[in-house]
Each structure stands twice: as C-alpha cells, then as structure tokens.
Amino acid sequence: MPKFITIGYGDRAGYDRTPQAVRDAAHAEDARLVSGGAVMGIAGTPVQVRNPDAAGIETRDGPFMRSDLPVAGFAVIDAASLEEAIEKVSHVPCAVAHGVVEIWPLE
C-alpha cells in the first residue's frame, strides 16, 4: 500500500479557539490512525544537517523553511490513493483546529 508523509502545522491559538468536542474527536482520529499502523509524533526542535561534498558536517539549529504556522507534528500513513490520504487526515487536530496538513506521497 502506498505511504504518505503528513506534516501538520498549527499553533496554540488556533487549537484553543476550536471547540473542545471538535478537538476531542480530532484526537480520537489520531488514535485511530495510530491503531491502524500510522507512525505519528509531535514535532520537536529541528536541526539542519549539511555535508557539502562530504567534506565536513555542518549543523544549524532551527527549521530550514519558515511558515506562518509552526510545524506541530508528523505522521507516516498508508492509503490506497492520495484521495484516501486526504480523507484520513481531514479530521486530525491540525486540519480542524485552524491549521493545515500537508501530504507528501512517498515514491
């Protein structure tokens, strides 16, 4: 079955203004995805890694790219199609709490 990486973006303000019942349902959806085999986690502090020409490792704290909303978490999910992946993540916390979820097909 095809795999997809999802990146959830969201902030505390959007989460807090989402009704509790909607948040509870979204967390239940996360739990269903995990019980179905998804690998999911909350984003920690990123570190950039470079090794130009394999001549030496360089690291820099912080994300490589910036967005209006911070990265909140990641998941690897199985879905038969992009459409199914969209349906699976359309009810997770970042999607319903004024954030956004990106879906990246793994090829």
Q: Is the pTM of this model over 0.95?
A: no
Mapped onto helix, strand or coil, the DSSP state of residue 81 is: coil
Of 89, 91, 104, residue with least CA distance to 5: 104
Give the pLDDT of residue 83: 97
Give the pLDDT of residue 40: 97
Give tens-digit pLDDT for 24-77: 999 999 999 999 999 999 999 999 999 999 999 999 999 999 899 999 999 999
**Confidence class of residue 14 from pLDDT cuts 50, 70 and 90?**
very high
Of 28, 62, 66, residue with least CA distance to 44: 62
What distance in Å separates the CA atoms of residue 16 and residue 86, rounded to the nearest whole number?
24
Mean pLDDT of 1-9: 96
Give the pLDDT of residue 54: 98
Strand 100-105 and strand 58-61: the pairing is unpaired
DSSP H or E segment with residue 60: strand 58-61
Give the pLDDT of residue 100: 98
